[in-house]
């Protein structure tokens, strides 16, 4: 198994000139290079600024926004943004860790308008709010649905 | 607090459309608009897409899709399955291109496992994927033409699609949901009469595509309904996450097969058709060209089909050969272990991308080191492309909405999952 690189210096050495490493160095809480993918973990309060810096570094195409539930560990939720740079043919992942109590993070629709549906999906299935989102409503489940099905503590059997 | 996106790229919800319509109708001296519900049983919505439109006469003022009618919770189901058991589920996400979903998923798991896949298995996967692409484009062409009113093309397209489905059946026993790919390779060696059958199909197919083009491209009604309808600029396409043929029709030269090759696509010679017009007609021509290119890739795959194993050398992950299982103790143990408790995948996360017939497909697989994934998320091209529907239809005629829906080739199974 190839070990993951965990410091910006090591990643810079393995991937010289990767634009995201330089652009996100000031925001990054953690950086990881694993299985040919760069993951930059940032604080939830910095997401819009970090997204703008990522876009300025050439990552113009937001592919996906989704979440992972690490229940029962805390911080519980990880929101992952997968971004593609069409000019340099590279992809990277921005990650934000959120606590299980009333999880909320600012929307990135102002940077990448395509985040609209993805953030609605994450809200619907995980119950993570995106502050400032133009239309924070359920998208998959019926509007009167209770609970968020992709949470790990959502019951998968029995009557409801 | 974040600033909101520029108003022309705000995607309204259903409530916004209805509220705006009420506001407009109370506006003294303003135009009287009405709200129209389209779907979910409308035949031209290709499944169960529901649209809520505000129309002023026949002009679309705004539009909001309502999705979720086919939501089956596949992502939740994946979390309760062993890694190999998820392959049949991925088939059912995009039921028109099952093999693309399978490929994307198994490539992701193989990257987590760091498996080396034999060349023969990779070539078989490429061959199957390109046949899937032709098959999917044939359904698109048939239904798109039928929406516009050209019923004949549908019958011709399904004639050729049936040929491909017979090839799939020969290979895997299943016409549509083949479940042919395995983590570590493919499930079985193709039967001997498979090769002449595919050869024969690839020989006749370019002529058949030409036949469809002759039926449609010179037809003035077809041109009138498609040219200049549903324009999308390159900047808007990127901003709204559009991918695949609609993105290339808007002038962005991006194809995952060429730009971030997987499964050995770097070994094939093919062109990526691009148009700069960005309307429905451009999407039609781009997909027609793509079918010719897919036939070329299939022929190259058949010509270079290497000999050798069809599965990776990983006895703890790949099910053993049936004969070995009956004669060797080791193989029997491996078989029992894989079937009863799956195989553990090292902890980590990958985002595997491929080019599906509809565009950029990505599988996000997170493993915590056990035999079941912690999270398996699918990024499907149709879901993002649907966001651009409003931008394409705004201010245009109601009848053109049907043409635009046909041209972006959405599959509701992969939007709702």
pLDDT per residue over B59-68, tens digit each?
888 888 888 8
Report the residue from B2, B6, B68 with minimal CB separation from A140. Answer: B68
**Domain that residue B38 falls in:** 12-66
A107/A48 Cα distance (integer angstroms): 7
On whether residue A14 sits in a domain, the answer given is yes
CATH code of residue A23: 3.30.460.80
Residue A19 in tokens: 């634009």
| Contact map slice: A 5-34 vs B, CB within 8 A | 34
Of A39-48, A78-87, B45-54, B335-344, the poorest mean pLDDT is in B45-54
Contact B384 A117 (CB under 8 A): yes
CATH code of residue B138: 1.10.645.10
Contacts of A3 (CB under 8 A, 6+ apart): none
Contact A135 B16 (CB under 8 A): yes
How much is the pLDDT for B30?
Answer: 65
Strands (E) across A5-160 are located at 28-34, 37-42, 61-69, 77-85, 90-98, 104-106, 129-131
Residue B91 shares a structural domain with residue B61: no
Average pLDDT of span A107-116: 89
Residue B47 shares a structural domain with residue B88: no
On whether residue B305 sits in a domain, the answer given is yes
Residue B212 shares a structural domain with residue B285: yes
Contacts of B188 (CB under 8 A, 6+ apart): B171, B172, B310
Distance from CA of B323 to the nearest CA of A (A): 31
CB B384 within 8 A of CB B217: no
Contacts of B242 (CB under 8 A, 6+ apart): B232, B236, B250, B359, B384, B385, B387, B388
On whether residue A143 sits in a domain, the answer given is no
* Helical pair B119-148 and B280-304, crossing angle rounded to 10 deg: 150
| Strand partners for A42 | A28, A96
Mean pLDDT across chain B:
88
Better pLDDT: B243 or A5: B243
Exposed, middle or buried, A51 (CB in 10 Å: 0-12/13-18/19+)? buried
pLDDT higher than threshold 90 for residue A79: yes
Domain count, chain B: 2
Residue B42 shares a structural domain with residue B109: no
Residue B170 shares a structural domain with residue B234: yes
Residue B57 shares a structural domain with residue B175: no
Strands (E) across chain A are located at 28-34, 37-42, 61-69, 77-85, 90-98, 104-106, 129-131
Distance from CA of A45 to the nearest CA of B (A): 10
Domain count, chain A: 1
Low-confidence ranges of chain B (pLDDT < 50): 1-3
How much is the pLDDT for B46?
Answer: 76
On whether residue B3 sits in a domain, the answer given is no
**Domain that residue A71 falls in:** 8-131
Q: What are phi and psi of B403, to 5 degrees?
A: -65, -40
pLDDT digits (tens, 9 = 90+) for B20-45: 777 777 776 666 788 888 878 776 77
How much is the pLDDT for A81?
Answer: 92
pTM, to two decimals: 0.90
How much is the pLDDT for B1?
Answer: 39
Residue B42 shares a structural domain with residue B116: no
Residue B191 shares a structural domain with residue B280: yes
Query: Taking CA atoms, what residue in A is nearest to B375?
Result: A68
How much is the pLDDT for B8?
Answer: 57
User: Among residues B311, B305, B363, which one has the least CA distance to residue B127?
Assistant: B305
pLDDT higher than threshold 90 for residue A3: no
Tokens 């990776």 map to which residue? B312
On whether residue B146 sits in a domain, the answer given is yes
Residue A106 in tokens: 């600012």
Contacts of B340 (CB under 8 A, 6+ apart): none
Residue B93 shares a structural domain with residue B218: yes
Residue A82 in tokens: 């997968």
Residue B59 shares a structural domain with residue B179: no
């Amino acid at each position: 198994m190839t070990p993951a690189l965990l410091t910006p210096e090591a990643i810079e050495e393995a991937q010289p000139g990767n634009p995201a490493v330089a652009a996100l160095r000031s925001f990054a809480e953690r950086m990881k290079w694993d299985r040919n993918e760069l993951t930059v973990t940032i604080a939830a309060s910095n997401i819009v600024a970090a997204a703008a810096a990522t876009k300025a570094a050439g990552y113009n195409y937001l592919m996906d926004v989704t979440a992972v539930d690490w229940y029962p560990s805390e911080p519980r939720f990880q929101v992952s943004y997968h971004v593609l740079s069409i000019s340099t043919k590279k992809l990277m992942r921005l990650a934000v860790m959120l606590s299980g109590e009333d999880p909320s993070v600012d929307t990135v629709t102002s940077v990448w308008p395509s985040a609209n549906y993805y953030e609605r999906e994450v809200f619907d299935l995980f119950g993570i709010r995106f502050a400032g989102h133009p239309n924070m409503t359920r998208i998959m489940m019926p509007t009167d649905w209770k609970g968020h099905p992709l949470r790990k503590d959502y019951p998968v059997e029995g009557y409801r | 607090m974040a600033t909101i996106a520029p108003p022309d790229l705000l995607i309204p919800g259903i409530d916004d459309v209805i509220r705006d319509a009420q506001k407009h109708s109370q506006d003294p001296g303003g135009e009287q608009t009405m709200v129209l519900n389209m779907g979910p049983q409308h035949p031209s919505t290709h499944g169960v897409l529901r649209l809520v439109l505000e129309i002023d006469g026949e002009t679309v003022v705004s539009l909001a899709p309502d999705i979720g009618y086919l939501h089956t919770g596949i992502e939740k189901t994946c979390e309760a399955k062993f890694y190999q058991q998820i392959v049949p589920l991925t088939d059912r996400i995009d039921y028109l291109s099952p093999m693309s979903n399978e490929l994307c998923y198994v490539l992701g798991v193989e990257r987590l496992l760091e498996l080396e896949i034999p060349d023969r298995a990779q070539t078989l996967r490429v061959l199957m994927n390109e046949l899937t692409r032709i098959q999917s484009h044939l359904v698109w062409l048939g239904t798109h033409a039928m929406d516009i009113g050209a019923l004949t093309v549908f019958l011709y397209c399904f004639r050729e699609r049936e040929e491909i489905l017979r090839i799939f059946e020969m290979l895997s026993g299943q016409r549509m949901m083949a479940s042919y790919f395995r983590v570590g390779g493919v499930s079985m060696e193709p039967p001997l009469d498979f090769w002449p059958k595919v050869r024969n199909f690839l020989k006749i197919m370019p002529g058949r595509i030409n036949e469809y083009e002759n039926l449609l491209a010179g037809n003035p009604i077809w041109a009138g309904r498609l040219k200049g309808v549903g324009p999308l600029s390159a900047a808007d396409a990127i901003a709204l996450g559009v991918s695949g043929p609609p993105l290339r029709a808007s002038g962005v030269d991006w194809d995952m097969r060429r730009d971030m090759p997987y499964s050995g696509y770097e070994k094939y010679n093919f062109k990526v058709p691009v148009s700069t017009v960005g309307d429905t007609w451009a999407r039609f021509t781009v997909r027609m060209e793509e079918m010719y290119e897919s036939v070329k890739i299939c022929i190259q795959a058949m010509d270079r089909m290497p000999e050798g194993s069809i599965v990776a050398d990983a006895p703890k992950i790949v099910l053993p050969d049936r004969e070995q299982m009956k004669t060797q103790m080791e193989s029997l143990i491996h078989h029992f272990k894989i079937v009863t408790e799956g195989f553990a995948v090292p902890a980590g996360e990958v985002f595997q991308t491929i080019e599906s017939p509809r565009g950029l497909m990505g599988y996000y697989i997170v493993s915590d080191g056990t035999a079941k994934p912690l999270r398996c998320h699918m990024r499907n091209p149709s879901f993002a492309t649907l966001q651009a529907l409003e931008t394409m239809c705004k201010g245009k005629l109601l009848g053109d909405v049907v043409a635009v829906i046909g041209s972006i080739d959405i599959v509701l199974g992969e939007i709702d999952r």
